[in-house]
Structure 1
């Protein structure tokens, strides 16, 4: 039972709130949740105890908090699973999910919540069932067009000739608007990998971890069985060896319960009957044994003098294949808290760097880094009374970036086919992306 469900912005503003039982009490539960979640340390559990024996369960997506309250005795994992499905449904109905789209579609969101829950009890989360009852059309913030090349998305469609659907191509409502004619059926199959790395002072990797997903998003109503062929040399665990080519290995993997695995052991083929909407077909993990080199290597040089000047020279080498590139590269470097000013010399004019006064850190932004290229930056910091203790406040450096059309594990999709005759064969997009928000490089404190 989930008595209350609400959505908050990253600043704690209440965007959606529904009290299904009217027992929320006089205290603002949304404000109470935000006070408690911001007071917790960095590792925040998805479920934690609130006042009066009531618990909060929450998930985060696109900077928003999706929250449900639980009464004593309720299953916490049920609440977390419901919130994850709520996020998926809102993405299916509204397209891109953010604070703006929620504001534009508040009537649709409340109608969905009323169909999902009755007096706090979950009724259904099936898109096939809900589309028979939900009547409100989504409000689109900006109509999508493949000819709109103003935005380079996560999958890096730079030009129309690249023949790669940008990220915004799948960020639109799954169900067509009433009266909309001629909408072509499409299927997006995305292989998304999240890379987490920690590199020691001497440049050797201390930790490498890849969390991967195969996501399917279908805009094709009445789709028959779909067959998805993975790399034939794909193996799970270190003891299994398949084929004679380059082996693609993961430590472990799991599948959605709707995926049929009769052909997986023999031919590495997944079979599924997808409904309209988004579905995570497979999740996998690989740790400490990447088949490819790390995308970036950072070579720092740190010098200082007695007058309080600190010189930090950073050489960033992109070790991707020459035909690959990274976008939205951002290096975050904490500096001594006593730093007063920053002077900079960057290797190219499209790069930017700035000293963030609140966090006392440098943010070096590189829009695009080609594989095999080398970038550099010289930062001159004014630090009065510079001491060895202050030098220990420098670093570690943290990189965030996105690499379109690339996977660290080497996993590839061999084919995407439909079984049986189709009245109209849909457009099929297969996309790959590797991204990282935690690529940590430790620096020498001594300089």
Structure 2
């Protein structure tokens, strides 16, 4: 798949060059550096074709990681591999990948490249697994590895569960599951929803003994549709995009929409998703601007929480933009505190806690300084930040969470929901 892989700096110098197939020469890489890096064209497109050679690359600060091929490949897979390779390198260099790290540890990087690719085909790409048998100590450190540890590593590499080490034991078995959603919303000045989507994730923290199998059922529309034919009930949600951790059994999910997995130890992201239909907008916002005089402006703002009364929104911040020439703001609020922050060019209204189905208001009288009358103020959109526990804008719900293990031990399980503001904008 990949013919060669290179690490290149911003000057066009080749720092690392590893060949996997004979159909690519170093002169072709040099040609790419001369034509593309010198003209900065590499930032415009991650895929460039020169003389029937495809140059697929990503930029990590001042380093370009380049993969070349002359065959028809899955470009998305190559790009994903390059980003994963950057994560592997960063795991060895305390989260940093720059020219200095590469020059100091080029032998280590060549060793990593030999393990992650075999004849240009991706193999092991798990940083935690690679660090067990690729270490910076060289042959002296390798000599200290015992036969039992070597066998354990071999079994982990070739086995189906490379993400979970064997022999884990906890006195108390616990599993924490968090559904975290960010609401991206754009509303026009006429209160028309122009864009609404939810980007969410399932975060897990596992403290489980042995090698348990876990199952999660969710109110996905495909599953609920089957149930509706039997129970004559409607429900469920439509999930547009999903991305799973490698531990998830995809055939099982395709069959009955149940997420089945053997969890890694500790914290990890099990799934990420995007939903763009039937979004429950948590707040209704009404904004009114009026000019009192030439140097005075009045802003009236009303917010109503559109969620259940037993749910509370927290850490709410409403950023109301004001003109640059604002010299003084007098505000009155029904709840919380409002303050003019010059650096943000906004009046920021902060509310620590807001119960569901409650309306509150803000009134600001703004005094303006001298300004050029020819320059009109283009009103930026109002922005909201918030957190709402026990609420999901998408309606996503976990129907069940099961932990099955041969020892049949008791597991303490917690499920939490949190919705927060992403790009939550209201045009004025």
**TM-score for both structures, normalised by structure 1:** 0.61
RMSD: 5.2
Distance 2:41 2:321 in 1: 27
Q: Which residue of 2 aligns with 1:129?
A: 129
**Cα distance, 1:110 vs. partner?**
9.8
Matched, 1:287 2:284: no
Distance 1:249 1:117 in 2: 43
Cα distance change, pair 54–260 in 1 and its aligned pair in 2 (3 A) = closer
**Cα distance, 1:260 vs. partner?**
4.6
Q: Which residue of 2 aligns with 1:153?
A: none
**Cα distance, 1:295 vs. partner?**
0.9
Q: Which residue of 1 aligns with 2:368?
A: 382
The correspondence of residues 146-185 of structure 1 with structure 2, limited to 5 A, is: none
Q: Which residue of 2 aligns with 1:235?
A: 221
Q: Which residue of 1 aligns with 2:325?
A: 339
**Cα distance, 1:204 vs. partner?**
3.3
Distance 1:428 1:202 in 2: 45
Q: Which residue of 2 aligns with 1:118?
A: 114
Q: Which residue of 2 aligns with 1:69?
A: 66
| Partner of residue 272 from structure 1, selected from 234, 238, 261 | 261
The correspondence of residues 86-97 of structure 1 with structure 2, limited to 5 A, is: none
Distance 1:49 1:125 in 2: 25
Q: Which residue of 1 aligns with 2:417?
A: 432
The correspondence of residues 293-308 of structure 1 with structure 2, limited to 5 A, is: 294-308=281-295
Q: Which residue of 1 aligns with 2:394?
A: 409
Q: Which residue of 1 aligns with 2:147?
A: none
Distance 1:403 1:325 in 2: 6
Distance 2:386 2:68 in 1: 41
Structure 1: 5+ residue runs without aligned partners? 13-17, 137-173
The 8 Å contact of residues 325 and 368 in structure 2, kept in 1 or not, is answered as: yes
**TM-score for both structures, normalised by structure 2:** 0.64
The 8 Å contact of residues 57 and 76 in structure 1, kept in 2 or not, is answered as: no
**Cα distance, 1:212 vs. partner?**
3.2
Q: Deviations over 1:49-100 (max 9, x none)?
A: 69999654258xxxx9996333465864234323554687799x79xxxx99
Distance 1:192 1:87 in 2: 26
SS of 1:410's partner is: coil
Distance 1:399 1:181 in 2: 44
Distance 1:89 1:419 in 2: 32
Distance 1:90 1:402 in 2: 35
**Cα distance, 1:213 vs. partner?**
3.2
Distance 2:397 2:8 in 1: 39
Cα distance change, pair 71–377 in 1 and its aligned pair in 2 (3 A) = farther
Q: Which residue of 1 aligns with 2:298?
A: 311
| Partner of residue 249 from structure 2, selected from 249, 255, 259 | 259
Instruction: Report which stretch shifted further, 72-81 or 306-315.
Output: 72-81
Q: Deviations over 1:226-269 (max 9, x none)?
A: 121223xx314998772455612215354647325547765x53
| Partner of residue 352 from structure 2, selected from 349, 359, 368 | 368
Cα distance change, pair 75–66 in 1 and its aligned pair in 2 (3 A) = farther
The 8 Å contact of residues 404 and 434 in structure 1, kept in 2 or not, is answered as: yes
Distance 1:75 1:218 in 2: 34
The 8 Å contact of residues 310 and 383 in structure 1, kept in 2 or not, is answered as: no
The 8 Å contact of residues 305 and 355 in structure 2, kept in 1 or not, is answered as: yes
Q: Which residue of 1 aligns with 2:384?
A: 399
SS of 1:439's partner is: strand
Distance 1:72 1:66 in 2: 20
The 8 Å contact of residues 185 and 219 in structure 1, kept in 2 or not, is answered as: yes
Distance 1:175 1:135 in 2: 20
Distance 1:322 1:88 in 2: 44
**Cα distance, 1:411 vs. partner?**
1.9
Cα distance change, pair 334–369 in 1 and its aligned pair in 2 (3 A) = same
The 8 Å contact of residues 227 and 233 in structure 2, kept in 1 or not, is answered as: no
More helix by share: 2
The 8 Å contact of residues 127 and 276 in structure 1, kept in 2 or not, is answered as: no
Q: Which residue of 2 aligns with 1:20?
A: 16
Choose 1 or 2 for highest CA Rg.
2
| Partner of residue 197 from structure 2, selected from 195, 200, 209 | 209
Cα distance change, pair 194–216 in 1 and its aligned pair in 2 (3 A) = same
Q: Which residue of 1 aligns with 2:184?
A: 196
**Cα distance, 1:441 vs. partner?**
1.0
